[in-house]
Structure 1
Amino acid sequence: MVRFLKQLDWFLIGPFLFLSLIGVLMVFSASAAYSAGAFSFLMRQSLFALIGILIVLFFCFFVKIKWLASQKVASFALLVTCILLLFARFIAPATAGTGAHGWINLPLFNIQPAEIFKIVVVLYLSSLSAHRLDKYERQLRRPSLSTNKNFGDHRFLGYTRSQILFVLFNFGLVLIMPDLGNALIALFLMAVVLFSSGLKPRYLFAAIASVTAIYVALPSILKVIPNHFLTKHYQALRLLIYIDPWPYAKNQSLQLVNSFYAIAHGGLFGVGLGNSIEKMGYLPEANTDFIMAVFVEELGSVTLFIVLAVLLIMIGRMFYIAFHIKNNFGRLILYGIGSYFFIQALVNLGGIIGVMPLTGVTFPFISYGGSSFLISSISVGIACSVSRVYKNQKLSGKQRRQNLEADK
């Protein structure tokens, strides 16, 4: 048992368990006004948490990263995701009220393929990039094996046209759901993996400059677009609400305005677990997209900073291992997964406090939902599997140093 516990990376497992527990408590509290009953949501979220723990342990001890690094495995995962995206967009019914597609309804929980795509595309690009980097390193060690045959005119940024088109096709399906929020997050994650695999810095600077310019110019751009066009299109309306939510406080921006009220009511230390006012029918989606508004109202901003600190410990551990590990795939996948958790939390919190447009993105481990929780659990499991490789790398390095000292 002691040996089993030592093999776990507690800088990853600890935050995962802590955030999962907070999530179960908050889902129970935030679901008080739902007709299905808070206890029903408690049982479901507890089940998701239990399955998530088993998933993490399974990936940690039984899934080798060389299997995940296989291009065949990564391609198959993206193909399955593509099928799910096609089904969700063209066969599954649209969401009531918005007309957007994106969910596959199951008895126990609903599947959101766009959520799956975000982590699968990280896996896919990490596998392809690691394969390219491994080949390049072998060529450096053995120049006689060098060949330019595999880097011909049919490649762009080191990837074949078919690989690029495969990713873009899946990305396009997410866009036409329409699901602009998850599409932009996926685009960010793809950029992280590409730049981590050695893309030239000038492309990174150009990307950052472009995103910054769009963000700064967005209010001016929206003023030029006719108001009737913005109010008739669901995604455009979210941008309009982001600029000025108060004229639409009784209808389209009801969620955001009540989120402001919840955060203001909570203050530094909150009004106590279970005592939220806004969750009692005033704040729609109280246990999913806006659960952190209920969290701040009940437990306060100070507790929110503690939760963010715990999440940052997990993310920081992933980046630390990625920086030190010698395995290319392990490095790239950890950069991608760490960025996935960071951007999910950033976009969710940015939306509820009004500094970013609302996107419908959940907060990792705390928001209610089977898709997001299980995908996040798989991500932590992969990170734990990579961590075991890193620990073995450190042990082998220590053994080599001991051998050298013995030789002296």
Structure 2
Amino acid sequence: MFKRKVKKVQKQQKEKKKRKPQWGLFFDKVRHFFSLTPKSDRIVTLAVLLLVLCGTVMIISTNVGGTTSNANIVLMTTIRQVVYLVISFLFMWAANHIFNFKWFSKAQNMILIFAFIFMLMPLAFAASGGSHAWIRLPGGVTIQPAEFAKPLLILVFATSLYQARKDASMTRHWQILFRKPFICWAMLMVGIVLQHDYGTGFIISFIFFICLMIPAYPQMETFQKWLRRIIGTVFIVALVLFWVTDIGTSILSHTPLAHIATRIENAKNPYTDVYGSGYQPANALYGIGSGGLFGRGIGGSLRKYGYLTQADNDYILAVIIEETGIFGLGILSLLYGLLIYRFFYYAFKTNEFTYKTVLVGSSAYLFIHFVLNVGGVSGLIPSTGVPLLFISSGGSSLMAAFITIGLCQQCISQIRLKEMKSNAYRIR
């Protein structure tokens, strides 16, 4: 009786497919092809879409301020942003569907060599803002290799743990286990120091140390304990030298890193040189202060009209708060918090350290970007030139962030499928 009902339902479904127009079937196939893997987290997808939508609207809004000198800038910005989004989505799809740790572990050495060369390529181009961080292509297109280094470092960590599953000798000595990640981090840091992009260097180091803190093996507990103590001590000493007193900034001001000392002074009080080095931080604070609880309304910002030269990039948050108020900042914080919460939720749910590393490393990536950007714009910490992921303009950061989301969704899909199989086995 049950088999007859199943056959009847299958027959009805076939008849529906026959009646469906060919173009309908075509679009179904296209939608299925470009969709994420089964059992991906829809909450993560929704949060990313809302962040991207908010970012696109605000990028277009901030560029209205440039219409005084270029009437076509809004149209050009919209087209450019759509192109970046399409390319970013394709990268996310590839990371979600095509990537696997098996072939990455085999090609890892070649990828690291290519990554190091890629990191050195910007040195052949002119500096911008004191940093040689961009590869400049014809048509005004730029690529920032350091943005792609962040998901790469997470993958190298995760791949080491993937290889350890097949090679038991790696787990006996954790120094061997994390040799490749350390080499990767050191290579990336060499390129970043040569580029003078210290904000990115801090982010990559933060991701590196967070991944090291994941309790993968008991043999690492002593090392992790001492590493936490060292980092805590360095943080307290730096806080005293650079924030509580002026000892650190006075020393830095007589070195090639004098611009960092200037940024620290601007964070303490940008109004001491409001028409010089404190111009952007001061105007960002003016914008934030005038936003109030609900802001001036979309398009109502005054600071984007020449007062903030990086209104659609590093300082886009100042325009967002000016136009949407503290309420807008709260919504953004909620969406970022939701992403990080979902990643940690699945990281604690799985015993597979490969997936755990990807999810925790990606959470660290999102968290530190958010903290550095919000802190820099609000003057709580020195400005580091770090973009607000999914919100700020810039194709490289958007693509790197989408790659990270694609990798996380693949890990989440595998965790959920494995959970379903184990539940089905228990029922049997």
Q: TM-score w.r.t. structure 2 length?
A: 0.83
Instruction: Report the alpha carbon displacement of residue 205 of structure 1 after superposing the two structures with TM.
Output: 3.5
Matches within 5 A, 1:377-388: 377-388=402-413
Q: Does 1:211 align with 2:235?
A: yes
Q: Indicate yes or no: 2:268 matched with 1:238.
A: no
Match of 1:21 among 53, 56, 67: 53
1:276 Cα deviation (Å)? 0.2
Other-structure match for 2:127: 94
- Secondary structure at the aligned position of 2:52 is classed as helix
State how many pairs are aligned: 384
Verify: 1:169 aligned to 2:187, yes or no.
yes
Larger Rg: 2
The 8 Å contact of residues 294 and 328 in structure 2, kept in 1 or not, is answered as yes
Query: Could you tell me how far apart the structure 2 residues matched to 1:20 and 1:45 are?
Result: 10
Cα distance in 2 for partners of 1:286, 1:64 equals 35
TM-score (norm 1): 0.86
Q: Which amino acid aligns with 1:20?
A: V
Structure number with higher helix proportion: 2
Deviations 1:334-356 (A, max 9, x none): 11011101110111000000111
Task: Specify which of 85, 100, 117 is matched with residue 119 of structure 2.
Answer: 85
Identity across the alignment (%): 25
Deviations 1:206-239 (A, max 9, x none): 3234224312431325466268637983333222
Shift of 1:287: 0.2
Is 2:134 aligned against 1:103? yes
Q: Give the Å deviation of 1:295.
A: 0.3
Q: Output the aligned Cα RMSD.
A: 2.6
Q: Is the 8 A contact 1:28 1:41 kept in 2?
A: yes
* Partner of residue 406, structure 1: none
> Match of 2:310?
285
Which secondary structure does the structure 2 equivalent of 1:22 belong to? helix
| Deviation at residue 329 of structure 1 after TM alignment | 1.1
For residue 267 of structure 1, the aligned residue among 271, 274, 292 is 292
Gaps of 5+ in 1: 140-146, 404-408
Q: Deviations over 1:167-202 (max 9, x none)?
A: 313212202311111101110000011111444241
Which structure 2 residue ranges, 5 or more long, are not aligned?
1-27
SS of the counterpart of 1:358? coil
Q: Say which SS state the counterpart of residue 175 (structure 1) adopts.
A: helix
1:336 and 2:371 are equivalent in the alignment: no
What letter corresponds to residue 98 of structure 2 in structure 1?
Answer: V
| Residue 349 (structure 1) aligns with | 374
User: Residue 32 of structure 1: SS of its match in structure 2?
Assistant: helix
In 2, distance between residues paired with 1:245 and 1:45? 32
How far apart, CA to CA, are the structure 2 residues paired with 1:156 and 1:215? 31
Is the Cα–Cα contact under 8 Å of residues 245 and 257 in structure 1 kept in the other structure?
A: yes
- Do the aligned partners of 2:156 and 2:184 also contact (CA within 8 Å) in 1? no
**Structure 2 counterparts to residues 38-53 of structure 1, below 5 A:** 38-53=74-89
Describe the shift of the 1:116–1:54 C-alpha distance in structure 2 as closer, same or farther (beyond 3 A): closer
Query: SS of the counterpart of 1:33?
Result: helix
Preserved CA contact (<8 Å) 2:56 2:81 = yes
- CA positional deviation for 1:314: 1.2
Closer/same/farther in 2, CA of residues 176 and 383 from structure 1, 3 Å limit: same
Q: Is the 8 A contact 2:122 2:132 kept in 1?
A: yes
> Does the CA contact (< 8 Å) of 1:75 and 1:124 recur in 2?
no
User: Partner letter of residue 24 of structure 1?
Assistant: T
Q: Distance in 2 between matches of 1:158 and 1:67?
A: 17
Cα offset, 1:247, TM superposition: 1.3
The Cα of 1:281 is off from its aligned counterpart by 0.3
- Cα gap change, 1:325/1:20 in structure 2, threshold over 3 Å: closer, same or farther? same
Could you tell me which residue of structure 1 aligns to residue 146 of structure 2? Answer: 114
- Of the structure 1 ranges 207-216 and 372-381, higher mean CA displacement relative to structure 2 is found in 207-216
